[in-house]
Each structure stands twice: as structure tokens, then as C-alpha cells.
Amino acid sequence: MAAKRKAHLFGIRHHGPGSAALLKGALDALDPACVLIEGSPEGDALIQYAGLVGMKPPLAMLFYAADEAANAVFAPFAEFSPEWVAIQWALARRRPVRFIDWPASVSLALTKAAREEALADLEKKAAEARKSDKEEQAEDLAASEGPARRLDPLDLLAEAAGYGDGETFWNGLIEQHGGGQSPLDIFAAIEDAMTETRQHQTEAGGISEAERLREKRREAFMRGHIRDALKNHEGEVAAVVGAWHIGGLREETTVAEDRALIKDLPKIKAEATWAPWSDGRLSYASGYGAGVISPGWYRHLWSLYSNDRHEGPEAFAAVWQARTAALLRQEGYDASTASAIEAARLALGLASMRGLSVPGLPEMRDASLSSLCHGDDMQLAMIERKLYIGDRIGEIDESVPQMPLAKDFEAWCKKTRLKPDEAASEIKLDLRSEAGLLKSTFLHRLNLLGIHWGRLIDAQAGRGTYREIWRLTWSPEMSVGLAEALVWGLTIEQAAAVATVDRGRKAEGIAALSELVRGALVSDLPEAAGACIDLLQAAAVLNNDITDLMNAVAPLVRIVRYGTARKLPEPELRALVTALGAEVNAGVRIGSRQLDDDATSKRMNAMRAYDEALGFFGDAALLEEWRRQLALLVDDEQAVAPVVGFSLRRLHDLGLWNEQQVSAAFSRQIVGETPARAGSFVEAFIAGSAEVLIQDQTLLFLIDEWLCGLDEEVFVESLPLLRRALTGFDASGRKRIMQRIAGGRKEASAMPVETEDNPAFERALPLLKQILGMSG
């Protein structure tokens, strides 16, 4: 009786260059008729594009739920990933190649169900009565002593082999192997070792029941695909899977048993597409569970294995140390070619002493540290990310079908000459130039979609001046953001406009609507801006929250004042600001009474922004009425103290009240008042820069006289509020204030100062006063 055919199982480590090299050798030796790979079958349609010239790893297959793109998972590939090598091998020889793991439609459905179950549990616990602290502590302790986290099986093998950890063991045995053995024999040894390790770990209880069931279901899918391949292909069948799964795949099960395991699993419609990936996201440090410690180093290892010239360990060490020296020179350090040669020799010597055929990363690092960095860890740390992690971002061939938004995103990148880069970088844009304005529009539209590739970092940039400074940091997860945004439209412009209007309809508060108007205008979305302006006007009619109205004015004024680099509906915006300002002025005094601490804090921030914006807006009637309301607030006994303090300070700063008026009002607010109210008033009154108090004698000595007049009990009660008021001043500022007080009040000179007429200054004075927000 003929022996039952079995597939050849090649147990690999994801993203391992040594595994990839062994796999290539094993495939060459076996020459299978069909290649199967651990991965979601929805990716089968994408395999055909992997062999195109424009496909440059790192890349990832993105699987996402059709009705909820945020529910997504990536399957990354580097050029040294065994799965990628297997795909390239099969495509080059025109052999069938398929994925055999459980479908993304199942894994995404289970993820969604688990998330909903967790949320339901949280809501249930929140609804229950609180337990005693003792019971909670007992529960926390029980949770901390729950099922142990599954140990890395490589650690168990490493311990048996005398290695310190699984990473070092696998690197020495597989990733940096010296050759000499048949790849098929090595994979057979891996299968025996991993099967035994899995059995030991299962018996020891190192795997939870939930995880055990998950693995059994995945392996049931894989066994089904392997059976189909053995049935449909006469030649050998190769299956490339994670080494952990080999023991499960070799289990003797029936078709009926496997079907029972996967019966009634939930499914949702899933889509798949190629997406760029990055070295940083391949690294274990990024949180990627199957990541590697050093993608940059593994790429260098792969160059050794995939190089047909077989230049040997000498060239391998020399190239790495030359690259290290070049990066050090870029950072301004002295790293000569002679030192790089010495570092390569030292790395080879260390490898020989440690019984390695080629230097590993520890040997290379020790050699670099000694010969190139002179023992200075800081120098090596400066280049660590570029050298060990890498800074490569993948590229997708132009002919590969992508999501419409992803395609439009790439077109915008080419049009604006912005290239995704994981490392943070800054760009300065001049909005008077067509190129600068185009980049700005693109980045603003992405922000409206929640894709924050760029963030404005310059203080004036958000005000729409002719200059913007952006910090750019690209992340592969932004591909998910583009998938999510498909519900809004098929282009960046269309999606950003529709999303903005939709958010406007759902916005709570007119301040949020005001920001959406600003966002639409700086993104060159006039129709969306017009729709949000209509929504804002309608909301303002029904809104009686003065703080909200104030917050709505500032972003609109910034656009009107600084938005000349873009086409704006200025008449409509000015009319809107005028209407909002009139509402604020009419209700600010009554609306500043009986506010709690939180509402008062929000009101103060809003008043400062509104006061500044109104000064810039340049409407004389609005400004005059606002300043009249400030004067009324000072004399309103029911207004909260911080609002009164701010109002009096503005009247003083603008020169609307003289020293006697300010002093009298100051005294009225503190004499006979409780320490809490008096302290809150003073805190708002002196808020700002220490330099203002140093230069403004009236303000400084008002505070001084108030403090000197307090009795001990009131002084002690007022100290916390006074200390809080002064926390914004730096140490040197506080010291100069004390020196100024110690110098005493200086009387103004009675002698008139003769000044020469300056016609140019006189002509410029009205404009200067307008800019500073001063009355004419």
C-alpha cells in the first residue's frame, strides 16, 4: 500500500533573512509544484502584483472590513521575509502560490465581536454598585495572578541549548548560519525541535484555552488548504508557515473534525489592498508582535545571503562598518575610513573568538563602539535608528489597483513633491507661491480627514499668514485612514469636503463649527465652507452660551485678517463675525454672573481670545461697545472676580482709564472682600508676562500696596492664589520684580521732554494703533 502523501512544512521565522535564505535553498532543492503560505486567502488576488518591478518592500497587505475600515489588519513583508521570498520564487517559475491561513473575513469579525463584548463588559461593570476597596484589591490581585502569558518557545529551546535567550539562539542557529548543511535537513530539524517544544509548553499549561482554540481553528483552515493542494497537484507541495504551527499541522485529524472546528464562525465582508510599509513598523519596538529587533541589520544580512557573488564575511563586515562611519560623519563626528577598516577587522576577530562564521550584530556593535566611537555610547545612539532600524519606506508599482483615495493620495504626493517619510521632518511653505499653497492645501485637507501626516508647529501658521511651518511624520496606519475616508468620496478633495459638512451637521457648539469653517477655507473647499457658515449662522441664533460665541469669533477673525493668500468669501465672513460679536457684547455682562470654577476658567480663555480678535478685526462700533462692556463689568458686583480682574486690566493696558480710576476700582474689589474673591481678582489682574509688571509702575505698586495692607491671617489665606498667579513668571522675572519694588516708586519727571516732529511717524501712527488694538 502506497504511503500517504504529505506536504513539506517549512517552519520559518517571520521576517528572518536566514530563514528566507534557507527557504530559497529548500525550494530550489524540492522544486515543488505548488507553494502554500501562511496568510489570509483574501490576499491571493494581490500576489500577482508582487513580482512587478515597481513593488519595493517593505510593503503590506491591508485587510479591512468593507463597512468599517478602522477594523483592519496588516500583513507586512520585507525583502528578507521568507513569505516574500516564497512568493517571488513561485512567480518566477510560474508555480501556483496561495495563502492558507484563516480568512481575514473571520479574523476581523472575531476582532469586532471581542471589542463589542469588552465594551459591553465595561458598561456592565460601570452600572454595578462599587465594591469595597478591599474587594477591588482582591480582584486586582486575582487578575495579576491570572493565566501566565505564553512563553516564547524559542526561549525554551535556547535554555536547553545553553543560550541566554531565544533571539540569540535563533540568530546564531538560523539567521547567521554558516551553511554546509542541506536546507531540507535544517527544516526537518526545526520541525522536530518546534514540535517537541510546543508539546512541552502545552502540557505545562503555558497556553490559555482561548488562545489554544484560536490556534486550532487557524490550523484547521491550513490543513484544509493543504489537503486540497495535495489532491489537485501531482508534484510536491511546500507549505511555508510559522515554525510554531508545524506541530499542529502534523496532527492526524479528519476533514469532518476540522470542519466542525470552523463551523459557524462569524464572517464579515473584507477588502484587501497593497499598502506601503516601513522599517520602523517592522521593528519589535513599534509594538508589532512579529517584529524584529533590527530591520536594518536583517536587511544587511539578507544582502549577504542573496548576493550571488558570495563575497564572504570580510566584505560583509566592511560594508556595515563603512555605513556606520558614513552615518557618524553625517552627525558631525570624526569617523575615518581607516577606523572603519579597523572596526571591520575587530568585528571579524570577535566573531572568530565567539565561534561564529560571520559577525553578528553584537560583534558589529562592539567593534563600532570601540574603533569608531571611541567608547562613547552617545555617538552610536545618534545613528541608532538609521543604522539598526532603518528608514526605508516601501513603494507600490503604478499599475497595481489601489483604493481610489490611496491612488489620489499618491497623485497628490507627486504633484506636491511630498514623499512619505517615517522620520519627522519640517517644511516651510510660502503661500504666495503656487507650490507652497498646493502643499498647504493638501496637508490641510488630509487633516480634515483625520490623517495627520502634517501638523502645523509655527505659532503664526495656524493664522493663515504667508508662511506655514509643518512637521511631517508619515505612518503606515494612515493607509487605514484613507480606507476609512472612502465613505466620504473617491478623491481627497471630495472626501474632505463631504466629511467637513457631515461633521458640521453633527457638531456640538458653534466654536466647533467655526473651526470647521476655518478648516474648509484654508483647505480651499469653498462649497464646504459655505455650508458650514450657514450651519454656524443657524446655530448662533439659538445659542446663548457667551463662552461658545466668543470661541467662535477668534478663528473667523484670523481667516479674515490673515487669509489673503487664499480666495475667501470675505463679505460673508465679516458679516458673520459682526453678528457674533454683537451677540457677545450684548450678553457678556449678564452671562458673567454665577459661573462655577470650570466655567470661569473657560470664560477667561475665551475672553482673552475674543478681546485680541476684536482688536484685529477693526470694526470700530464692535470695539467701542466691547470696551464699554468691560467698564460695566468692573462695576458689576455680581460678576465673577476673574472676569472683573481681566476687564480692569484691559482698561488699564489700553489707556482708557487713568491711574486714579484704576486704583479706585482695584481698591473696591479687594477691600472688605473675602481672600478667595480678592485673590481670584488679583490673579486675573496680574496675569501675563513678568516684564509687564516690571515696566508698568502703576500695576506693580498697586499689588505691592495691597499686599502690605493685608493682616497676617488674610495674607496667609491669599498666598496660594498669589503663588498660582505668579507661577507663569520665570525665576529671573520674579527676581527683577523684587528688585523693582525694592527700588521704590519713581516719580515721572516734571520737565517736559522736547521731541522733534516726525511726519513719517505721524502718518504711520493710526495704522500702528489699529494693529495694536488701541483706540484712535
What is the domain extent for residue 411? Answer: 404-487
Residues 152-176, mean pLDDT to the nearest whole number: 64
Residues 381 and 411 in one domain: no
Q: Is the pLDDT of residue 705 over 80?
A: no
Residues 527-534, mean pLDDT to the nearest whole number: 88
Those residues with Cβ within 8 angstroms of residue 228's Cβ, 6 or more apart along the chain or in another chain:
none
Do 485 and 405 meet the contact criterion of CB atoms below 8 Å apart?
yes
Q: Note whether residue 438 is domain-resident.
A: yes
User: What secondary structure letter does DSSP report for 564?
Assistant: G
- Give the pLDDT score at 45: 94
Residues 212-217, mean pLDDT to the nearest whole number: 90
Do 41 and 98 meet the contact criterion of CB atoms below 8 Å apart?
yes
Degrees to nearest 5, angle at CA 450 with 445 and 452: 80
Q: Is the pLDDT of residue 713 over 60?
A: yes
Q: Which of 369-373, 409-413, 691-695, 733-737 has the lowest mean pLDDT?
A: 691-695
Q: Note whether residue 250 is domain-resident.
A: yes
pLDDT in tens, 266-276: 999 999 999 88
Of the residues 466, 487, 508, the one at which a domain ends: 487
Q: Is the pLDDT of residue 182 over 80?
A: yes
Residues 523-541, mean pLDDT to the nearest whole number: 86
SS3 category, 95 = coil
Q: Is the pLDDT of residue 490 over 70?
A: yes
Residues 380-389, mean pLDDT to the nearest whole number: 87
pLDDT in tens, 607-639: 888 888 888 888 888 888 998 998 899 888 888
CA distance to 276, 293, 329, 530, per residue, from 344 (Å): 34, 22, 17, 65
pLDDT classification of 483: cutoffs 50, 70, 90: confident
Q: Is the pLDDT of residue 55 over 90?
A: yes
Residues 483 and 362 in one domain: no
Q: Is the pLDDT of residue 689 over 70?
A: no
pLDDT classification of 103: cutoffs 50, 70, 90: very high
High-pLDDT (> 70) share of the chain, %:
78
High-pLDDT (> 90) share of the chain, %:
28
Q: Note whether residue 535 is domain-resident.
A: no
Q: Is the pLDDT of residue 151 over 90?
A: no
Q: Is the pLDDT of residue 731 over 80?
A: no
pLDDT classification of 57: cutoffs 50, 70, 90: very high
Burial code of 228-241, b = ≥16 C-beta within 10 A, e = fewer? ebbeebeebbbbbb
Q: Note whether residue 574 is domain-resident.
A: no
Q: Is the pLDDT of residue 63 over 50?
A: yes
Residues 220 and 357 in one domain: no
Residue 186's φ and ψ, nearest 5 degrees, are -65, -45
pLDDT classification of 669: cutoffs 50, 70, 90: confident
* Beta bridge mates, 276: 59
Q: How many residues does the chain have?
A: 776
Q: Which of 178-187, 419-428, 758-767 has the lowest mean pLDDT?
A: 758-767
Q: Is the pLDDT of residue 52 over 90?
A: yes
- C-alpha cell at position 339: 577606523
Of the residues 487, 516, 538, the one at which a domain ends: 487
SS3 category, 278 = strand
Q: Residue ranges of the alpha helices (H) in 372-525?
A: 377-384, 404-416, 434-448, 478-484, 492-506, 510-522
Residues 626-654, mean pLDDT to the nearest whole number: 87
- Give the pLDDT score at 752: 46
pLDDT classification of 733: cutoffs 50, 70, 90: low
Q: Note whether residue 366 is domain-resident.
A: yes
Do 299 and 142 meet the contact criterion of CB atoms below 8 Å apart?
no
Degrees to nearest 5, angle at CA 203 with 201 and 207: 55
Residues 383 and 412 in one domain: no
Nearest in space to 707 (alpha carbons), one of 723, 696, 695, 692: 723
Residues 114 and 256 in one domain: yes
Higher pLDDT, 529 or 693: 529
> In terms of DSSP bridges, do strands 467-472 and 425-430 run parallel, antiparallel, or are they unpaired?
antiparallel
Q: Is the pLDDT of residue 120 over 90?
A: no
| CA dist., res. 558 & res. 555, Å (int) | 5
- Give the pLDDT score at 648: 84
SS3 category, 376 = coil
| CA dist., res. 346 & res. 352, Å (int) | 10
pLDDT classification of 147: cutoffs 50, 70, 90: very low
Q: Is the pLDDT of residue 529 over 60?
A: yes
Residues 230 and 352 in one domain: no
> In terms of DSSP bridges, do strands 8-12 and 237-242 run parallel, antiparallel, or are they unpaired?
parallel
- Give the pLDDT score at 324: 94
User: What secondary structure letter does DSSP report for 485?
Assistant: G
Higher pLDDT, 138 or 186: 186
Residues 103 and 185 in one domain: yes
- Give the pLDDT score at 472: 92
Residues 48 and 167 in one domain: yes
- Give the pLDDT score at 758: 67
What is the rounded end-to-end Cα distance, in angstroms, of the chain?
Answer: 108
Degrees to nearest 5, angle at CA 385 with 380 and 386: 95
Q: For all residues of the chain together, what is the average pLDDT?
A: 81
Residues 250 and 102 in one domain: yes
Residues 334 and 231 in one domain: no
| CA dist., res. 298 & res. 80, Å (int) | 7
Do 675 and 718 meet the contact criterion of CB atoms below 8 Å apart?
yes
Q: Note whether residue 293 is domain-resident.
A: no
- Give the pLDDT score at 320: 93
Of the residues 487, 519, 540, the one at which a domain ends: 487
User: What secondary structure letter does DSSP report for 272?
Assistant: E
pLDDT classification of 736: cutoffs 50, 70, 90: low
Residues 383 and 415 in one domain: no
Q: Note whether residue 59 is domain-resident.
A: yes
Do 41 and 224 meet the contact criterion of CB atoms below 8 Å apart?
no
Kindly tell me the burial class for residue 255, based on how many C-beta atoms sit within 10 Å of its own C-beta (0-12, 13-18, 19 or more). Answer: exposed
Q: Note whether residue 568 is domain-resident.
A: no
| CA dist., res. 562 & res. 553, Å (int) | 14
Do 543 and 553 meet the contact criterion of CB atoms below 8 Å apart?
no
- Give the pLDDT score at 161: 62
Do 524 and 518 meet the contact criterion of CB atoms below 8 Å apart?
no
Residues 174 and 79 in one domain: yes
- C-alpha cell at position 186: 535544517
- Give the pLDDT score at 260: 92
Query: In this structure, is the dihedral angle defined by the CA atoms of residues 729, 735, 739 and 742, taken in order, positive or negative?
Result: positive
- Give the pLDDT score at 3: 58
Task: Report the domain count for the chain.
Answer: 4
